[in-house]
Structures are given as C-alpha cells and as structure tokens.
Amino acid sequence: MKRKAAVTAVLSCLLAMSAAVPAMAAEAVDYVYLSIVSEDDLYEIEPGIAVSGMEPMLWEEDSCTIVDYNVSGDTDTPKVRYTYSIELEAEDGYRFDRNTIVSVYGSYDVSFSLRNNNRTMIVLARTYPFYVLEEVTGIQIGSDGMARWNEVDCAKNYSVCIYYETVKGKTGDTKKTVKTNEIDLSKYTDEEKYAWVTISVKALADVSAIQKDYILESNYVFDDGEIDDEHYVDYYEFTNIPCDYTAELPAGVSGNPFDPNTVYVNPSTKPSTTTPPGAVTPPSTTTPPASKLATTPSAQADGWYGSGDDWYYIKNGQQIVGDWLNSCGDEWYFFDALGDMCHGWLNVGGEVYWLNESHDGTFGRMLAGYRIINGKTFYFNDVHDGSYGALYVNRRTPDGRYAGVDGVVR
C-alpha cells in the first residue's frame, strides 16, 4: 500500500509538472486591441438615430481571439451608458497577465479580469450610443416679434443665425445663442427699419465631458425645413471617438485601428535588437568579396533569393550590393557590402533608418512614422522630401512632440 501511494504521489507530481510546462512556456500577451465601433457603423448616420451595440472586433489576432460577448443596459437612449462584456481566449503558446494592456476603441472606460489560469480574459467596456441631434423643427416668428421652435432632446442651448434686410436695402446677419427654444426678434420686425427677417436654428448638445464625443450637432435649418447653406455639414463624422486603455499605451502607439498611421505592438512583431541608433556603420565598400560572388549563381533571374534572415536581390542579372532597392512604392530595402539585405538599425549616408525585423511579409523593409523599438519611441520621416525614412533627431515631430539627441521621442 505504501509503494502504491508513493507511485501515485510521483505520478501526481509528474502530471502537475507537465501541466505547468505549457503555462510557464507561454508568452505573455502585451497588448490587446479591440474596437466596438467601425467606420461603416457611423457612415452617413442620420439625425435622431442612435447607433449602438455593434459587434466588437479584434486586431492583431495572432495571440488571442474573441469567443463571446454580450451587451447590458439601455443601448437606444442617448446620454445613457451601457456596457460590453467581451470574452477573449489566448491562443496556444500565449497567456494574459495583469500587465497586459487592453485598449477599446469606442469606449471611455475599460477594465478586465482573468480566469482559467490566465488563458481567458473578460473585458468590460463602458460606452454610450453614438447619436446626432435631431434637426430643429416648427420655427415660427409671431406677431409679437418672438421666434419659437420645438425643443430638441439632449439640447442645452440653441444657436440662432439671424438674416435681415433694412428698408434701405442693406442686408446683414448675426448669430446669437439662447438658453430656451425662443428668441426676441422684435428689433427686426419694426417695419419702418427692416424689410424682412428670417432665422436658421441648430440645437447645441447638453452633454458631460465624457458624453460629448458620442453626440454630434445637426445642421442649422430654416422655418421651411431647408438646410442653411451658409453653415452646412455635408455629412456627420465622429472625429474624436473615445478610446480608453487599462494602462498607458507606449508613446506613439495608437488605439485607433482605423488610423492609417496606427502602430501596433505585439509579441509576434516586437523587434528584439538592442543596438542603439548610430551603432551600425555604413558599408565600407560596394564590392563584395570574391567568395561571396562565387556563391551567387550567374544565371539567376531577377528577384528575391534566400530564406529566414538571409536574403539578397538580383537586378538586371547582378546582385545588389551597398545600395538601396526600391521594389515599388514606399518599399525600400538596403543591401550591405556583401549583398546581404540589412534589417534593424542602419546608419548610412549620414542618416539613421529602421529596417523591419518582423517576419510579417515585409522583413527588411524601411519603416516610417512612429515606431516602438525596445520600449522606446522613435519617429522616422514619413514625407517624401528626399529624406524619407530618416530618424528625427533633436527636432520636433509633425505633431509637436520632441525627438532628443538620441532620437527618442518624449
């Protein structure tokens, strides 16, 4: 019996150890990018319509997936918050932890909890319906000189454009803000001084600081319901959609998945180099050693050759060495004196560049814009002005941030 108990104990330990190995080997998910609103959801939204309860989306799905979600609360009433509960599951080889940063585009308040040995994450995202205020209706100018209109839901004040013409033929306009749904126009109804007067009105939203990004104001309208062309909004666009994070995102990283300049950071794409800018010297020669030439087949067709981290390029029957290759558009690659494609930091021609180290289909390609490298933010010129891709050093970036002498943006 003692031997059986001992064997059972040993087996139990081995099972526990074998179960623990995958968890120990699993890589922590650094960032989770979610969105509860898409551009299509808010495209050409009409006044008086609430848009809410959209299906959540996940970017960078290599490390985790959405397995379920639900929405609780009133999703149809403007200015009334509701909550998403989004369940995520880590892919094989990954796990969440308390340091995982979660951003939710469309939410103003985000939190999460972990379950199932950190393989499951429950994200709570609070938000409001997206809403455009109804247009003002029922505008009338009474015989008492008072102009009145119907109240608009969620409106605090009203902006009124007053258009007039004097009996001498002089036209003019002025704009006023009123706190109620009426305005005194008796000054302009004096027939001895004014030939006519008319107004257009728009409602101004009554919202808190948090709610303001979820509500847009509609157009100015006249008493006949026509839009005031002097203050016309062609279409309603939410330009400041909230995006909250469970912790501060690294500088230069955007939580907006629809921003064309968005920079994502994930374990699968995080560069591993520790070489600082300037540590890589320019090629000293453009002629590869004979041993290298001997290994390059002379009959190769133009194009890429290699695998893994080792690549070279044949152009016009010759291997490119010590020079740039612009394969198409913004796709620039550099080859050293041996003809090997470079990656990571590159210092050449008096400029410093960052060449992609991620095997994502663009390995070795020169990258521009904001980039997070070893936890530090750098900015590489994204304007085609003759220095495209060059590191900003000791100068301000286009959005006003400052890149120091080491290139780090602070």
Task: Show pLDDT as tens, one digit a residue, over the chain (410 residues).
Answer: 333 344 344 334 434 444 444 445 688 888 898 999 877 788 778 899 899 999 999 977 778 999 999 999 999 999 999 999 999 999 999 999 988 889 899 999 999 999 999 999 999 999 999 999 999 999 999 989 999 999 999 998 999 999 999 999 999 999 999 999 999 999 998 888 999 999 999 999 998 888 999 999 989 999 998 999 877 776 787 878 888 888 776 555 566 666 544 444 432 222 223 233 333 333 333 333 333 333 444 457 888 888 888 888 998 888 888 888 887 767 889 988 778 888 888 887 778 899 998 887 788 999 999 998 887 889 999 888 888 899 998 888 888 888 887 888 88
Confidence (pLDDT) at 85 = 96
What is the CB neighbour count within 10 angstroms for residue 358? Answer: 17
* Distance set, CA 394 to CA 29, 46, 356 (Å): 33, 47, 23
Backbone angles phi, psi at 62, to 5 degrees: -65, -35
DSSP secondary structure code for residue 187 in this structure: G
CB contact at 8 A, 381 and 389:
yes
CA distance 236 to 135: 13
* Distance set, CA 94 to CA 31, 122, 255, 307 (Å): 12, 16, 21, 26
Close Cβ partners of 289 (under 8 Å, ≥ 6 residues apart): 338
Strands 376-380 and 82-90 turn out to be unpaired
Instruction: Give me 82's structure tokens.
Output: 């509701």
DSSP secondary structure code for residue 385 in this structure: S
Q: Where are the beta strands (DSSP E) in 206-242?
A: 215-216
Confidence (pLDDT) at 258 = 60
pTM: 0.57
Backbone angles phi, psi at 68, to 5 degrees: -170, 160
CB contact at 8 A, 132 and 48:
yes
Domain boundaries, the chain: 21-130+241-245, 132-231, 271-403
- Among candidate residues 223, 186, 180, 179, the one with its CA nearest the CA of residue 201: 223
Confidence (pLDDT) at 267 = 29
Beta-bridge partner residues of 319: 314
Confidence (pLDDT) at 82 = 96
Confidence (pLDDT) at 8 = 40
Out of 3.30.2000, 2.40.50, 2.60.40, 1.10.1200, select the CATH number for domain 132-231: 2.60.40
CA distance 265 to 374: 11
CB contact at 8 A, 358 and 267:
no
Confidence (pLDDT) at 18 = 42
State the number of CA atoms in the 13 A half-sphere of 355 facing the CB: 23
Confidence (pLDDT) at 391 = 92
CB contact at 8 A, 399 and 377:
no
| H/E element, 378 | strand 376-380
Confidence (pLDDT) at 250 = 59
| H/E element, 129 | none
CA distance 61 to 31: 11
CB contact at 8 A, 7 and 14:
no
CATH C-level class of 271-403: mainly beta
Backbone angles phi, psi at 16, to 5 degrees: -65, -40
Confidence (pLDDT) at 123 = 94
Confidence (pLDDT) at 177 = 95
CB contact at 8 A, 287 and 321:
yes
